[in-house]
Structure 1
Amino acid sequence: MKVGRKWSAVAAAGVLLGAGMASAAGEVPTTATSAAQMAVRMFPSGSSAVILCSGDPKSERSDLVAGQALAAYLSAPLLLTQSAGELGPNTRQSLSQLSVPDANPAGDEQPYQPAPGKPKVYLVGTTDSLSGSLVNQLQELGYAVQDLRTDSASALLSEVQNIVAPPLPSQADSPGFPGKWTTYAGDQAHNPFYPVPDSAPSWEKEGVMWNFPEKAAVPLSQEFPDLRQLGMRGAPVKMTQSLGNACGVTAVDGVIYAESDDAHLYALDAKTGQLLWQAGPTVNALMGNPIVGDGLVYVTAGDTGFSFSQVLKFMLSQGKMQLVRGLTYSAIYAYDQKTGRLVWRQDFQGNAMPTPALVDHAVYEATGDGHLYAFDSKAGKSLWKTDLGGFASMSSANYWRDPETGRVEIIVGVSDANNVVAVDAQTGKVLWKQPTTLNIFNTGMGDNTPTVDQENGLVFQDSVVDNDPKTNTVDLAIYAMDARTGKMVWSTKLGRGSSPPAYKAGVAMVHDGVVYVGSPATSRYYALDEKTGHVLWNFHFQNSGPAGAGRGSAVYAYDRLWVAAGPKVYALDPKTGKELGSYEPGGRFGIVNPVIVGKTMYLGNSYDWIQAIPLSKIDPTVQSSGA
């Protein structure tokens, strides 16, 4: 039977333990401690399940393909029977080794421990390859059995496909969600709040709560990463941008899309947290927001490294030779929005960590090789590329549409030299560059994403400045520029603090004449007058840790600011900065930008989890504030 590309890709991720391979499950644990630890390793999803397929060489290949797909979806091991009607001694031994211990030793609780007892066994195959007697054998041994046997191979694939790739929610069932996601953090102003209509279902109006672990998930209550192993600098760097969901999630038509450093893209049901599909692995880590539009989901893969040869050339040329960021492979991917099937891909020389922008059926990506690229959104055909005069580190493209001419400017920050650059979306022509006037430090303007006020024609960007190597302190400056000309309108320094270890800036959000931005140097969040740059108030994040806090943008919703920083999510009074409520959902947050639809906050964290939190968990008074 011919196996489609979709099935082949999913099946390749399966875990296979065949007959005669019982030792692959690990040695029989001799203590409750080792048994508990092994159970966590074998069942990373927290749900103990085993997939059982026929080991008969005469069985259909499609049986194994279906079994591998289900094993990948459930993060479960796959075992083979000895024959169509007999488990066989090796499979029995493997099953016994996969039982979860009844109790953990005192003081050694596993925070993400699967339920104790024997795993649930899924029988996957046709009735010809797997006899009904296997159900009796398993039940006699005390296993719960999910019988997925069918009369034909095609029916079996359909049965498993309904589990591993359920249909996406319909737009009618999720009326509060946006129909597309075109820029980093959802819109030009970086304020992804989507109120729901009165006709919306109750789960949207009241909020839902769930946690979904991705492939590299770490227990939410665990102290992580280990400073002793990674060092006082290495651990904060990884926590800030190299682990889990660096920048947060995307919400479109009742589906939550999220990228991960595990090189996979996930699509989840926003109501239940159920996995709808996953795609990958990609050539490198994914660190941005998925962009959704034109029936596709766009993600970019890259890394933060510099090769020694690149740094040497840069130094020998005294900065005249352009520095390229990115050690290994980088690419942009376009996946089918409904199925996760790869539609097209383009590769780059430099890193592709920034989130692309989707404007008028074209995708724009700034990379570590110092160029801005434009591609046809549906076919992936290259439209043009433009030299920016410096590399984009984590600066995702934003845009401004001139209300008088209709011309679209793609706006991005670059490092070496530290400029904000505007490029004509149609032609690739550089329209203006704004060289910053303050003493920019490190990757500067290329480390952060510009924020655009479309109505007032302003662009906001911030960067660390005035580095003092003796005290290892910096300041953070935020700039306002005219979107049409690039002319500087104002600049404000927010205060000195310890030099952040990575992603040294904060993503700004603008709403109703006020700019909100955090500084990881001071671990404070600030409100500034949009016209003057005058600081209105600031709020200090507690327990920010050695990495500092305040990188992600806030969301303005229900007359509150909602922001994730350190181990908490906060609700702040937007007029005074007073804390109205907070909640610790587990794990920690890096550059995360929360998304609010109705009364639910969706976000990801550095522990590789995707989370849905009712706003009432953060501030109980929000339920009485109306929609």
Structure 2
Amino acid sequence: MQLRKTLLVGWVSVALLSGCSLFNSEEDVVKMSPLPKVENQFTPTKVWSTSVGDGVGDYYSHLHPAWQDGTIFAADRFGVVKALDASNGKTKWEVNLSTNPGFFSSRISAALSGGIAVSGTHAYIGSEKAIVYALNTEDGKIAWQTNVGGEAISRPVISDGLVLIHTGNGLLQALSETDGSIQWSANLDMPNLSLRGESAPATAFGAAIVGGDNGRVSAVMMKEGQVIWQQRISQPSGATEIDRLSDVDTTPVIVNGVVYAIAYNGNLVAMDLRSGQIMWKRDIGSVSNIIVDADHIYVVDQDDRVIALNTDGGVSLWRQSELLHRNLTAPVLYNGYLVVGDAEGYLHWINTDDGRFVAQQKVDSSGFLSAPVVASDKLVVQAKGGEVYSFTR
């Protein structure tokens, strides 16, 4: 099958991108778990909400806000980018990156994707049209824009004077933070069929650690783009090509010289940062970013179980299985609680000690795709319809 990531459409993409499994019969449909009944121990307070364009609609674009120095930066897929005052949600500036082909023509979508990253005086965002933009944080004006080697659907990562972009065709490219010029490109091998999504790299000690669609995690020297080591954490297996998907679409986490990474249809692994050698692995798969906090790891697996493990051997501490197939976002830690959103627009607050629900709230009927973001003392989340919400606890 010669489907590429950009061609996953129809029932294939719906099933894969929701984290559900495929069955042989059309009548065998994975059903979303009913909403669990929760007796709220507290009610999170909505501080403000504001619209940022039309959101992502039915597209699988993991657009999410970013925060820096009292300002929230958010965008919609069409091309609207806003800087918002984190205290009240009021717009500081707004730009539109969509293009205008002529006076009598409608504007053409910029197809923004992957989320905003902010560092210093620039906010960075990529597009499905293989363009990376750097915007001035003060006024939103374009500082530079660069055409990269493929769809820029992962979040840009800024480190060591470089903007790292993992493109949809398997390239890891380094752009100059100053002017956007391409410094190097590393080709990470691509299978014929893969999920729509790319791992944003993690960086440490001059190396970028990034997952690939081939089931491998790679370490790349940021000075020259040379691959130091590669480690396979998922081995394709199963009767169908869908079963054999082994993408590592999540961002690795680096703590105390250990790399934690997870693959779809694969494993959660701990690896030595210097050599890539696997220290331990557990049979858990996911397409959502994981959290490593102190000696705990928090995972939303591909069936939407929320799981806590310890970092010493990956021993399971608890599992919360009442949100199966509700298409959960990646988790975030906020004020000592684990928070996830779901496709129906609920936020679920979970006790990190035992996995029990402590609060639940309906926020937005368009649902959530991207994880909430912690902005100082606030929790900020963007709904698929484009509304951005700020909460406090």
What's the TM-score once normalised by structure 1's chain length?
A: 0.49
Give the whole-Å Cα distance in 1 for the aligned partners of 2:228 and 2:357: 42
1:513 is aligned, of 295, 303, 307, to 295
Structure 1 pair 380/480, CA: closer, same or farther in 2 (3 Å)?
Answer: same
Residue among 46, 51, 73 paired with 1:213: 51
Q: Deviations over 1:301-321 (max 9, x none)?
A: 01xxxxxxxxxxxxxxxxxxx
Instruction: For residues 309-362 of structure 1, give each alpha carbon's deviation from its aligned partner in whole angstroms, at most 9, with x where no partner exists.
Output: xxxxxxxxxxxxxxxxxxxx2111101111110111111242110011101221
Q: Extract structure 1 runs of 4+ deviating beyond 6 A.
A: none
1:276 aligns with 2:276: no
CA shift in 2, pair 1:606/1:593, >3 Å = same
Cα shift at 1:247:
4.3
Aligned 8 A contact 1:247 1:593 in 2: no
Contact 2:267/2:281 (CA < 8 Å) preserved in 1?
yes
Which sections of structure 1, spanning at least 5 residues, go unmatched? 1-205, 219-224, 226-237, 303-328, 402-406, 466-475, 496-503, 616-627
CA distance in 1, matches of 2:364, 2:322: 16
Asked if residue 394 in structure 1 is aligned to residue 197 in structure 2, the reply is yes
1:250 pairs, out of 52, 62, 66, with: 66
- Structure 2 residue matching 1:533: 3-state secondary structure: coil
Q: Post-superposition shift, 1:378? A: 1.6
Alpha-carbon contact 1:298-1:335 (below 8 Å) kept:
yes
Counterpart-to-counterpart distance in 2, 1:588 and 1:524: 22
2:138 maps to which residue? 338
Relative distance call for 1:609 and 1:382 in structure 2 (3 A) is: same
Structure-to-structure mapping, 1:66-215, within 5 angstroms: 209-215=47-53
Whether the 8 Å CA contact 1:385–1:428 is kept in 2: the answer is: yes
**How far apart, CA to CA, are the structure 1 residues paired with 2:137 and 2:245?**
34
- What is the aligned counterpart of 1:452 among 232, 253, 276? 253
**8 Å contact kept, 1:288–1:355:** yes
Higher helix share: 1
Contact 2:236 2:245 (8 Å CA) reproduced: no
Q: Secondary structure at the match of 2:115?
A: coil
Measured in 1, the distance between the counterparts of 2:295 and 2:217 equals: 22
Question: Equivalent residue of 1:507, what SS?
Answer: coil
Give the drift of 1:541: 4.5
Matched letter for residue 410 of structure 1: A
Q: How far apart are 1:589 and its partner, in Å?
A: 4.2
Shift of 1:507: 1.2
Alpha-carbon separation, structure 1, partners of 2:316 and 2:369: 22
Residue 79 of structure 2: aligned partner: 263
**Which secondary structure state, in structure 2, belongs to the residue aligned with residue 464 of structure 1?**
coil
Contact persistence 1:395–1:412 (CA under 8 A): no
Count of aligned positions: 331
Displacement, 1:364?
0.8
Structure-2 separation of matches of 1:281 and 1:540: 41
In the alignment, is residue 610 of structure 1 matched against residue 388 of structure 2? yes
Question: Are residue 530 (structure 1) and residue 320 (structure 2) matched?
Answer: no
- Please give the residue correspondences for 1:159-558 in structure 2 after superposition, counting only pairs within 5 Å: 209-216=47-54, 238=58, 241-242=60-61, 246-282=62-98, 284-302=110-128, 329-390=129-190, 393-401=196-204, 407-415=205-213, 417-439=214-236, 441=243, 444-446=246-248, 448-455=249-256, 457-465=257-265, 477-494=267-284, 505-521=287-303, 523-542=304-323, 548-555=326-333, 557-558=334-335
What secondary structure sits across from 1:427 in the alignment? coil
Measure how far apart 1:590 and its partner are: 4.0
Query: Residue type matched to 1:513 in 2?
Result: D
Identity over aligned pairs, percent: 22
Q: Does the Cα contact within 8 Å between 2:368 and 2:382 map onto a contact in 1?
A: no
- Asked if the contact 2:331–2:338 (Cα under 8 Å) also holds between the matched residues in 1, the reply is no
Relative to structure 1, the CA distance from residue 488 to residue 217 in structure 2 (aligned partners, 3 Å threshold; closer, same or farther) is closer
TM-score normalised per structure 2: 0.77
Amino acid across the alignment from 1:477: N
Asked which structure has the greater CA Rg, the reply is 1
**Residue in 2 aligned with 1:183?**
none
More strand by share: 2
Question: For residues 442-480 of structure 1, what are the alpha-carbon distances to aligned partners after superposition, in whole Å with 9 as ceiling and x for unaligned?
Answer: 65334x22232332x222222232xxxxxxxxxx63222
Conservation of the 8 A alpha-carbon contact between 1:519 and 1:551: no
User: Does the C-alpha gap of structure 1 residues 350 and 505 become closer, same or farther in structure 2, counting only changes over 3 Å?
Assistant: same
CA 1:438/1:589 → structure 2, altered by over 3 Å: closer, same or farther? farther
- Once the two structures are TM-superposed, the CA of residue 612 in structure 1 deviates from its matched residue by 0.8
Higher RCO, 1 vs 2 (CA within 8 Å, ≥6 residues apart): 2
